[in-house]
Amino acid sequence: MPKSVKDILAMKGVKKISVITAYDFTTAQLCDKAGVDAILVGDSGGMVMLGYENTIPVTMEQMCFFTEAVSRGRKNAMVIADMPFMSYQASKSQAIENAGKLIKAGADAVKLEGGIEIKETVKAIVEIGIPVMGHIGFQPQTTTLQEGYKVQAKTKDAALNLLHNAKALEEAGAFSIVFEMVTKEVSKIITESICIPTIGIGSGPDCDGQVLVVHDVLGLYEKIKPKFAKRYLDLAADIVKAITSYRNDVVSGKFPSQEHSFSIEKSELERLKKEIA
Ligand code: KIV
């Protein structure tokens, strides 16, 4: 049975929550096998899978496509799908309809960026029975439009503002909140001030859990290397090395060898040759 909202809530203050992104079946299977608590089908998929400059162009159709593949690949991890830019801002009914599409595609919960300004939207989605994860601090869908990549909550006022946003999401019924690029001291204070788990990305060690983009963990995406992302592999270099060896083997005739080829019976071959002759 996949982990539920109840399981994630019960981990607060007991055990750290591990979350990683995935966008396809094979990667989801591997993440699940590694034992992560949740897989986030992030709209970061628009950048690392589709090559967009940022997450703004990502569509509902693309998010449903990624979510279907990921949900087929997991057994135990909870699947949370991002609601892309402009899939929930226009009206509550638009938000409910699109959250429902992601659940039908296989997600167990949806994630929305924003705080107080989306409180009523979050409430409406939760009220119909769809679990919601919040996302505050650096919000890639909109903060990029205003000020670019910037660490959040560096002043008292900014920190208080973030605390109010976290409380609003908790009151609206969100089951957890992602903190992106929030100063570690402020992450700790807010984590201790709310009852739902906080999941940090670039927000220090005191959040209740952590999330990273799988391409950053594996060293697959070379365009942006965030300071907060720990690389556990240099897979891009290994992949280029492997494909170069394959190309060289094709060019030199070393591949395919006997072990990668199929044969016709000798007698059949003789008969064939006779007939052709
Ligand atoms: O889209 C994403 O991958 C995210 C994480 C950065 C939290 O929202």
- The predicted-structure confidence for 2-19, as pLDDT tens digits, reads as follows 999 999 999 999 999 999
Instruction: Judge if the beta carbon of residue 79 lies within 6 A of ligand 1.
Output: no
> Does residue 79 sit in the same domain as residue 125?
yes
Confidence band for 224, pLDDT divided at 50, 70 and 90: confident
User: Which pLDDT does position 127 carry in this prediction?
Assistant: 98
Q: Whose CA is nearest to atom 8 of ligand 1?
A: 42
Cβ of 21 closer than 6 Å to ligand 1, yes or no, is: yes
Give the C-alpha separation, 97 to 49, whole Å.
Answer: 25
Over range 181-203, report the average pLDDT.
98
> Residue 265's domain spans which residues?
238-276
Report which DSSP code applies to 259: G
Q: Report DSSP letters for 114-173, one per residue.
A: BSGGGHHHHHHHHHTT--EEEEEES-TTTHHHHT-S--B--SHHHHHHHHHHHHHHHHHT
Q: From atom 3 of ligand 1, which residue's Cα is the shortest distance away? A: 42
pLDDT score of 149 more than 90: no
User: Residue 70 is part of a domain; what is its CATH number?
Assistant: 3.20.20.60
For the record, the structure tokens of 100 come out as: 């429902």
Instruction: Say if residue 68 is in the same domain as residue 185.
Output: yes
Residue 146: per-residue pLDDT: 79
* Mean pLDDT for the chain overall: 97
Q: What is the pLDDT of residues 88-103, one digit of tens each?
A: 999 999 999 999 999 9
* Shared domain check, 199 and 145: yes
Does pLDDT of 200 surpass 90?
A: yes
**What mean pLDDT do residues 42-69 have?**
97
**Number of folded domains in the chain?**
2
